[in-house]
Amino acid sequence: MSGPPNLRVCALYPDLMNIYADRGNLLVLARRCEWRGIGFALAGSSLGDTVTPAAHDLYYLGGGQDRDQRLCAEDLLTHKAEALHEAAAQGAVVLGVCGGYQLLGSSYELAPGDVLEGVGLVDARTVREPGPRLIGNVAIEVDLGGEHGTGGRGGEPARQVLAGFENHGGRTHLGAGAQPLGRVLSGHGNDGRGGLEGVRRGNVIGTYLHGPLLPKNAWFADWLIAAALGLDPGELAPLDDALEDAAHRSALAAAGL
């Protein structure tokens, strides 16, 4: 890579899918790039807009209310689905959080007979089932490579742990060949029963963790930046993350770890 790298981020529906402090995630990406001398360009794409697959390295889709989620689901299929599939095939990172996660899958059944068609980037479907919303602090163990997380004992590798907050009425079920993002250590996860949380297909990631996600998990923000730029996370310049590490520990403690 010649010259300083430049991270190009596209926020999908920033005016509609942003109810879980999603701007905080974008701000973390911007600051961690700035502190390393990495360029950062942020563009928004909302209803009626098209996207150019090669124009962005990372696509971000946050959470929204059912009404707005319906509008975005229809627009994704009409204006953006083909481009997002092409971008993902070219190695771009696509991150969906909460409602955004649900729209990355094949479908979201809001009620019997009322089904939103998803963009189909991952093999997952979401349904509404009897029972309370799945709400609370959550922590999951993930395997993305490297040794960030809670630390290991007895020579075992450190666990990579993501911590956050979940609040969802939908239950997400992964297809037979789909890979979860992580294993639930504390909290509900995808459906409150299976012990799995999120989904990952290459650089396409969906998760219910918000609150927001990246300020509580700076190491994961770095993983996203590196993946989007085609780098190993170890190639990123180290930062003084004393405050970020404290935020991560606090989120873990809130989840009972």
- Which residues are the active-site residues? 98, 210
Sign of CA dihedral 104, 69, 65, 109: negative
Alpha-carbon distance of 163 to 193, in angstroms, equals: 19
Closest to 172 in 3D by CA, of 197, 138, 205, 204? 197
Alpha-carbon distance of 124 to 116, in angstroms, equals: 13
Closest to 8 in 3D by CA, of 23, 29, 22, 25? 29
- Angle (nearest 5°) at CA 229 between 61 and 226: 80
Place of tokens 């993946």: 227
Alpha-carbon distance of 72 to 125, in angstroms, equals: 17
Alpha-carbon distance of 158 to 145, in angstroms, equals: 10
Q: What are phi and psi of 12, to 5 degrees?
A: -85, 125
Provide DSSP, 102-160.
HHHSSEEEEETTEEEE---SSSEEEEE-SS--EEEEEEEEE-SSS--SS--STTPPPPE
